[in-house]
Chains A and B, each alone.
Chain A
């Protein structure tokens, strides 16, 4: 077992870190304050750097790199701005990847290519008002009408909503079939008549990432936009989330690392009782626990990424990585605020934002409870 990144992975980390620090970090606090998504900065520039299609083969407009490179990119972006991290993760893992995994060659040419190149942005609509953790309760319907499908229903909490051009949507196509079996996946383009956007969520964290409601009213979708087989939608959604969890785990890891870095440098500077607070064992013990938990999370995230690229099963590994990294992010950011004291509670320093951002990683793409269900089920199967 070799615990070393390849030269390419190290160069990717250096490039994304330089880019994140120079270009993304300076506006992170203001974008959070103004709840503003900056597409040029947070997506178009990522496309120029080849980050929007990291894991896809070159023939589909990707860079042909591995999942670990992807995780490193999301980690480094999230270290300075979790909103930018999730923009990439939702686009790549949730919007583009299902087309790569389940799409026909025509669908890959038509939709995956522009997504991988970053000419278009992707999003994923599974959650509904009555179907959260219980994704099988999807109520949105798709009914055959001639050669097309007519979609009706509402999706909520959709990351990149409104901004994205291509959406993967889960809808019930068979009311008779048992819960999970009657769901199918569709590719829906922004601008399709009958597809509109509802309210934009006002959130606690990742406020620079848009979260929107999608509304379908007799939205007509051509049969060629059915993704995978009819009735295969739930399986597609679960597979997609297995990959997505690597992205969210990497996002959580980046947030935690950003908070630790801030806490360490603050503790070395801040003097109380005539000495830097970093010299107090009480502070050092906190920093030691934070760093240890982060390193453990990193190994889980990188392991899940490795398994995904090696063609091994990674459902359990990515659930473990997401569970550990997100709970670590919450603990570490809370502790970072504590180490910065009153200053940490103000918006002068980034740790309060990181603490607000960390919370969502325990909720989306399956709550911590759902990750435990996934891990537990795979252990006791």
Chain B
């Protein structure tokens, strides 16, 4: 069975973000980068499926500039068999439709029976690449899965619905799954496997060879939320303070009806 997992390199979320000069995205200089958290669940699940099947072939794919090979190598160190790097210096400005199209162009005809992606990226958060890719490849997509089991051509997965309800979904492969927090505990890539990752196949494909669509949406402006006013400081003796506090809670919040 051929398995595909799609990963994105995103800034470490503890970075100090600045907005770029054009005002359309964050400034990418001086950031530390790592694998999108949801994609780590996807890689982990893909590796588990491969380990379960034994004879599966697991490809990891990522789009971006030269530095994304580090993220691909992490996936290889976690257990993927081969890497595909779609080389694209302009990835930060791409919209989900372009990204999904490029991956679909690569995946077409390669008979991937199971495709895993993260539920969304931690930076753009559109949650569209997975489902768009499914559509483009004419595959059923099951989103935000928190449990995955596979046997005899059928996957049984759990999805989290609103209000804590869980749904169990059965789907015949080929199919695509987008992975949510809670799906699994991600393994650490061991040091020997990090060293061995550099010996695994890593194919580089220029974005231009795969991209044949025009963007259909554009991010016009991004901004930080406006600074909220500083907190309210009440003064007076305790009884007075309690009265003031109750009045505020009644008037301005729903805490006290």
What residues make up the interface of A, taking CB atoms closer than 8 Å to B? Answer: 7-8, 10-12, 14-15, 18-19, 48-51, 54, 58, 63-65, 69, 73
Asked whether, in the complex, the Cβ of A54 is within 8 Å of the Cβ of B69, the reply is: no
Given contacts A7-B69, A11-B70, A11-B74, contact A51 B188 (CB under 8 A): no
Instruction: Point out the residues of chain B lying under 8 angstroms from A10, CB to CB.
Output: 70
Asked whether, in the complex, the Cβ of B188 is within 8 Å of the Cβ of A49, the reply is: yes
- What's the nearest-Cβ distance from chain B to residue A271, in Å? 11
Instruction: Point out the residues of chain A lying under 8 angstroms from B194, CB to CB.
Output: 8, 11-12, 15, 65
Identify whether the interface residues of A are mostly helix, strand, loop, or mixed.
helix
Interface size class of B (residues with CB under 8 A): 10 to 19
B190 within 8 Å of A by Cβ?
yes
Which residue of A has the minimal Cβ distance to B193?
A50
What residues make up the interface of B, taking CB atoms closer than 8 Å to A? Answer: 34, 69-70, 73-74, 77, 188-195, 197-198
Q: Which of A11, A12, A58, A73 has the most CB of B within 10 A?
A: A11
Identify whether the interface residues of B are mostly helix, strand, loop, or mixed.
helix
Which residue of A has the minimal Cβ distance to B69?
A7
Asked whether, in the complex, the Cβ of B195 is within 8 Å of the Cβ of A65, the reply is: yes
Asked whether, in the complex, the Cβ of A12 is within 8 Å of the Cβ of B191, the reply is: yes
Q: Once bound together, how far apart are the Cα atoms of A308 and B131, in whole Å?
A: 50
A69 partner, pick from B77, B191, B198, beta carbons under 8 A: B191
Q: Once bound together, how far apart are the Cα atoms of A51 and B192, in whole Å?
A: 9
Instruction: Point out the residues of chain B lying under 8 angstroms from A69, CB to CB.
Output: 191
Instruction: Point out the residues of chain A lying under 8 angstroms from B198, CB to CB.
Output: 7-8
- What's the nearest-Cβ distance from chain B to residue A54, in Å? 6
Instruction: Point out the residues of chain B lying under 8 angstroms from A7, CB to CB.
Output: 69-70, 73, 198
Asked whether, in the complex, the Cβ of B191 is within 8 Å of the Cβ of A14, the reply is: no
Instruction: Point out the residues of chain B lying under 8 angstroms from A14, CB to CB.
Output: 34, 74
Asked whether, in the complex, the Cβ of B188 is within 8 Å of the Cβ of A18, the reply is: yes
Which residue of B has the minimal Cβ distance to A70?
B191
Given contacts A8-B198, A14-B34, contact A50 B73 (CB under 8 A): no
Instruction: Point out the residues of chain B lying under 8 angstroms from A63, CB to CB.
Output: 191-192, 195
Q: Once bound together, how far apart are the Cα atoms of A65 and B141, in whole Å?
A: 41
Q: Once bound together, how far apart are the Cα atoms of A303 and B34, in whole Å?
A: 26
Instruction: Point out the residues of chain A lying under 8 angstroms from B77, CB to CB.
Output: 11
Instruction: Point out the residues of chain B lying under 8 angstroms from A49, CB to CB.
Output: 188, 190-191
Instruction: Point out the residues of chain A lying under 8 angstroms from B188, CB to CB.
Output: 15, 18-19, 49
Q: Once bound together, how far apart are the Cα atoms of A58 and B197, in whole Å?
A: 14
Closest 3 CB pairs of A and B: A50-B191, A50-B192, A50-B190
Q: Once bound together, how far apart are the Cα atoms of A65 and B197, in whole Å?
A: 12
Asked whether, in the complex, the Cβ of B190 is within 8 Å of the Cβ of A11, the reply is: no
